[in-house]
């Protein structure tokens, strides 16, 4: 990993003041099942019978074991192998033990509970009961108030605005996830990221040997302004055969909120300058996705060395910028920049 030799950072303050634990206790599912459906789940699964399973191994009338009445439907729908919720096709062995289709392939067609051969028996009764369930989003403890039919819940959760964010730190494979306050503390304490208050910045990047470009991520700085957090990235990488430097901003929040803000970046020297203006990308988009989309200020190495002056043997780039909030004009419906908040 290529590292920067020295960094100078000056951030102007505009008087902004700096603005959990996740609970795993989710409400039980809401059951709208008919008496027949509940009875089907309570008496076990009958391969080949009414409410039972069909398939190559479904001949006969072998009844599965009784399910204890105290067992909740939610627990019945939990795969015993991966512990995730099961979705059709739900498989079972001849003794009535169930598991999800993904895990069926992993266990080499042997029931993980009784070691009997699984065959191709579907647990149609349990699939039918699942249709009658309404469940809260699994991010209920993070603030999502929504309740969904069982088979719609998974799609919602993949797009839920309350789902945790991944750590935006680049240059390492950090697997930490959490809400924004947690990630801000994580970046400060664990990654030792520079934290600044203010909506303008002035960074100076220095590197003694700019000819070494090995897809290096150099730094991340977090800014707090307008009550929000923004990540400023600056790095070097190969764009085709050409080494380039790139700076871009990401918003610590969802994409819809990111559109409320704009930013500019400027670099220059010797009477020349380059300016980039854009909308910050949400940290829902990975660092690599933003970088590979070229959505930011890109400086070719020759231009960067020209801006550095001297004999072009050392990189000395000064990048300045600002962040502003777009305000809706109530008369025209157009957005006007708010530069003074």
- Give the pLDDT confidence of 163-182 residue by residue, as tens digits: 999 999 976 678 899 999 99
State the span(s) of the chain assigned CATH 2.60.210.10.
166-323
User: Over the range 22-48, which residues count as b (16 or more CB within 10 Å of their CB) and which as e?
Assistant: eeeeeeebebebeeebeebbbebbbbe
Q: How far apart are the first and last CA of the chain?
A: 39
Half-sphere exposure of 273 (CA within 13 A, CB side): 12
State whether residue 154 is helix, strand or coil.
Answer: helix
- Other Cβ atoms less than 10 A from the Cβ of 322: the count is 19
**Topology (CATH level 3) of domain 72-131:** Herpes Virus-1 (3.30.40)
* Digit-coded pLDDT (tens) for 292-341: 899 999 998 888 888 887 666 777 888 899 999 987 544 444 444 444 33
Evaluate whether 284 touches 165 at the Cβ level (below 8 Å). Answer: yes
Out of 29-38, 116-125, 298-307, least confident range: 29-38
Share of the chain above pLDDT 90, in %: 29
Out of 105-114, 117-126, 216-225, 284-293, least confident range: 216-225
Query: Is pLDDT above 80 for 93?
Result: yes
State the span(s) of the chain assigned CATH 3.30.40.10.
72-131
Evaluate whether 90 touches 79 at the Cβ level (below 8 Å). Answer: no
Q: At what angle do helices 124-131 and 35-42 cross, to 10 degrees?
A: 140
- Other Cβ atoms less than 10 A from the Cβ of 266: the count is 17
Q: Determine if the peptide bond prior to 89 is cis (ω within 30°).
A: yes
Evaluate whether 248 touches 297 at the Cβ level (below 8 Å). Answer: yes
The mean pLDDT value for 54-63 works out to 39
Prediction pTM value: 0.65
In this structure, the strands spanning 281-282 and 228-239 are: unpaired
In this structure, the strands spanning 281-282 and 315-328 are: unpaired
Query: What distance in Å separates the CA atoms of residue 34 and residue 54, rounded to the nearest whole number?
Result: 22
The mean pLDDT value for 78-87 works out to 88
Does CATH number 2.60.210.10 belong to domain 166-323? yes
DSSP codes of every residue in 192-208? --EEEESSEEEEEEEES
User: Over the range 121-154, which residues count as b (16 or more CB within 10 Å of their CB) and which as e?
Assistant: bbbbbbbbbbebbebbbbbbbbebeebbebeebe
Query: What distance in Å separates the CA atoms of residue 102 and residue 324, rounded to the nearest whole number?
Result: 48
- Place 3 in a pLDDT band, splitting at 50, 70 and 90: very low
């Amino acid at each position: 990993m290529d590292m920067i030799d020295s960094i100078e950072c000056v951030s102007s303050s505009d008087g902004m003041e700096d603005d959990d634990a996740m609970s795993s206790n989710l409400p039980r599912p809401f059951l709208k099942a008919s008496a027949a459906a509940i009875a089907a789940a309570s008496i076990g699964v009958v391969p080949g019978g009414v409410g039972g399973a069909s398939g190559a191994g479904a001949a006969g009338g072998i009844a599965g074991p009784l399910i204890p009445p105290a067992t909740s439907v939610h627990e019945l729908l939990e795969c015993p192998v991966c512990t995730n919720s099961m979705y059709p096709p739900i498989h079972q062995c001849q003794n009535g033990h169930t598991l999800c289709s993904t895990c069926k392939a992993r266990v080499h067609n042997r029931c993980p509970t009784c070691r009997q051969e699984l065959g191709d028996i579907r647990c149609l009764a349990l699939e039918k009961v699942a249709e009658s369930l309404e469940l809260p989003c699994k991010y209920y403890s993070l603030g999502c108030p929504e309740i969904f039919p069982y088979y719609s819940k998974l799609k919602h959760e993949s797009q839920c605005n309350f789902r945790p964010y991944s750590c935006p730190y680049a240059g390492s494979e950090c697997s930490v996830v959490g809400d924004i306050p947690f990630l801000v503390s994580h970046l400060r304490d664990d990654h030792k990221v520079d934290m600044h208050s203010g909506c303008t910045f002035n960074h100076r990047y220095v590197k003694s040997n700019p000819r070494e470009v090995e897809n290096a991520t150099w730094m991340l700085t977090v800014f707090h302004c307008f009550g929000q957090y923004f990540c400023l990235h600056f790095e070097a990488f190969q764009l085709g055969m050409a080494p380039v430097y790139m700076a871009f901003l990401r918003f610590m929040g969802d994409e819809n909120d990111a559109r409320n803000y704009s930013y500019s970046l400027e670099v220059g020297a010797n009477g020349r300058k380059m300016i980039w203006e854009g909308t910050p990308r949400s940290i829902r988009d990975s660092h690599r996705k933003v970088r590979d989309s070229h959505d930011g200020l890109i400086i070719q190495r020759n231009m960067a060395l020209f801006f550095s002056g001297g004999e072009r043997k050392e990189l000395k780039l000064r990048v300045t910028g600002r962040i502003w909030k777009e305000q809706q004009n109530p008369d025209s419906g157009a957005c006007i920049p708010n530069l003074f908040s």
